[in-house]
Every structure is written in structure tokens, then in C-alpha cells.
Amino acid sequence: MRTLELPAIDPATVKPRIGSGYPAAFQAACARREKRVLGDPAGLTRFGVNLVRLPPGTASALRHWHTLEEEFVYVLEGEVELVTDAGAQTLKAGMAAGFPAGKPDGHHLVNRSSRNALYLEVGDRRTGDVCEYPDVDLRLIPVDGDQVFVHRDGRPLKDGE
């Protein structure tokens, strides 16, 4: 079989990122999340595309919302629980959800089933975005062209937090 050439991508050839980039104290819920970043190898710069596998008991992220970025998810396999400020609802394969920028409604997906869930995640890449985490003392803010985790009041996190 011939190897695919760009712009085509075989997601199976993209190495998954396991877990999250959260500070150590916040990593447990997402520790088994597998994310294959598909937009970068395709050369996309204005929006990101990720193929995400959530094993049973795993969350997509801490509940969060973005000030400038929009997000969209489409469930491909299995089912996940979408948790927002309004409560929880089940999304099954073929269902989707969208999260407008600047709407302070924390959201995340949790796989409460006994089998893996697979979904496509799409989001834009806005410079200056702040990510708020309403359930924990955490924010992700832009600092000198990078994104940095801080306490909600802006204080830097100490080692081990």
C-alpha cells in the first residue's frame, strides 16, 4: 500500500499525546486521554483539529471556557457525558456540541461508559485567549507569546501546585 502524501493524513500514524498539560495537581481526570493532533501535520494554522480517544472514566479536560476561542466536538464512536453549567447530557456517536467564545459556561466531556469513546475536536487559535476553569483555582493566560497556568487571581502557581 502506498504511503499517504499531504494534504492526506492517516490519523493512525500521528503519535497520540497521552494525558494533559495541566499542572500536576490537576492531571488525574485526563491522565488517560489520547489526543492525536491532526491540524498541525496538515499545515493548518488558523484552527486546530484533534482526534481524541477517552477511555472509560476519563475526562476530556477540566471544565473550562474560552474568552476568545470557539470549540466544536463531534462524537464518532461510543458516548460521552457533556457537562456544562446547566448539568449533564449524553452525546452518542453522530451527535455534536459547540461552544461559542466568551460564553462563561464551563464544559467538558466525561466517558462514563464501559468502552472507549472517540470524538473530533475543532477549535480556532486566537492570540490572547484566556481559558477559565470554574471548578478549580486555575486560569490559562497569555504571557510573552506562550500560555501559562496561574491562580484565578493571577498569582503564579508554585512548584507542585
pLDDT digits (tens, 9 = 90+) for 66-103: 999 999 999 999 999 999 999 999 999 999 999 999 99
Give the range of the structural domain holding residue 37, as residue numbers without chain letter. 11-128
Q: Do the domain assignments include residue 66? A: yes
Q: What is the mean pLDDT of residues 29-58?
A: 97
- Summarised one tens digit per residue, pLDDT across range 1-33 is 568 888 999 999 999 999 999 999 999 999 999
- What pLDDT is attached to residue 1? 58
Give phi and psi for 34, each to the nearest 5.
-115, 120
Percent of the chain with pLDDT over 90: 92
In a domain, 62, yes or no: yes
* Residue 2, all three cell numbers: 502506498
Residue 104 lies in a domain: yes
Q: Which residues of 115-125 are buried (b: 16+ CB within 10 A; e: fewer)?
A: eebbbbbbbee
The whole-number pLDDT of residue 161 equals: 73
Q: How far is CA 102 from CA 45, 62, 81, 87, 146, in A?
A: 21, 17, 22, 19, 20
As a whole number, mean pLDDT of residues 49-59 equals 98
User: CA–CA separation, 80 vs 28, rounded Å?
Assistant: 18
84 found inside a domain: yes
- Mean pLDDT, the chain, integer: 95
Say which CATH number the domain at 32 has: 2.60.120.10
Number of domains the chain contains? 1
**Could you tell me if residue 98 is inside a domain?**
yes
Q: Please report whether residue 107 resides in a domain.
A: yes
- 155 is a domain residue: no
For residue 83, is it within any domain? yes
Structure confidence at residue 38 (pLDDT):
97
Quick check: 115 pLDDT over 90? Answer: yes
In the predicted structure, residue 111 carries a pLDDT above the cut 80: yes
